[in-house]
A = this chain, B = another copy of it.
Amino acid sequence: MPEDLLGVHELCDSNAVHVGILGGTGPAGKGLATRLAATGTTVTIGSRDAERAAAVAAEVVAAWPEHQLPIVGADNAGAAAADVVVVATPWDSAVATVRPLAEALRGKVVISMVNALVKEGREMVALMPARGSMAGAVQAALPGSLVAAAFHHLPAADMIDLASGLQSDVLVCADDPRATEQTLALIEPLEGLRGLDAGSLNQAAAIEAFTAVCITLNIRHRAHSTLRLAGI
């Protein structure tokens, strides 16, 4: 961990935080961008293809004209220049996406929302990443960054729709408490979402894999379920 982390705590309490989303043109990235921007956070959606990112950003902004959402598109290097960076790529390109950006991401909080899942028949099955979790793989590829895992269990369709009435708990885990704090600070203003500190990055394996269970329940029960923990 680098010592030079000035500013991390200041960002927690600042509305001026700028979030970049690597691989943010998919449903998960678009959903998170929409929710963050609706609270005034500036978001850069990143993609290998900057034109595609710009087109997706424009599409999201146009979907909620009354909100004037502060979302722009860029290539992934452009998104990596933000204060806090989210990884929302498909699982099998997460490491390849973040590794060349290691210098840009040094000292920053990087939030992995990546799940390694595969559809098999009437269910989604969790794959076991070689390092136990995708967040662990991202942390290994970015030894100078403070990696958290979060946002895995949120249904993308409900995230994209600001009127969906989504209510869900968001489990956050990280090895460095600054990563947990900064992620919880991003979640705090998001309507209907409650962030919960779920421990160290060791927990990412179970948190990521549980996404397969949530989706399988939805398939089996034709439901739109969300995770809630009672008594906490």
Q: In the complex the two chains form, is B123's CB within 8 Å of A202's CB?
A: yes
Residues in B whose Cβ lies below 8 Å from that of A126:
205-206
Q: Let me know if A26 is at the binding interface, CB within 8 A.
A: no
Pick the interface stretch among A50-58, A87-95, A208-216. Answer: A208-216
**Given known A-B contacts A128-B132, A171-B213, A209-B205, A225 and B220 have beta carbons under 8 A apart:** no
Q: Let me know if A39 is at the binding interface, CB within 8 A.
A: no
CB distance from A183 to the nearest CB of B (A): 14
Interface residues of A in 114-167 (CB under 8 A from B): 120, 122-123, 125-126, 128, 132, 167
Q: Name which residue of chain B comes closest to A226, CB basis.
A: B230
Mark A residues whose CB is within 8 Å of B: 120, 122-123, 125-126, 128, 132, 167-168, 171, 196-200, 202-203, 205-207, 209-214, 216-221, 223-232
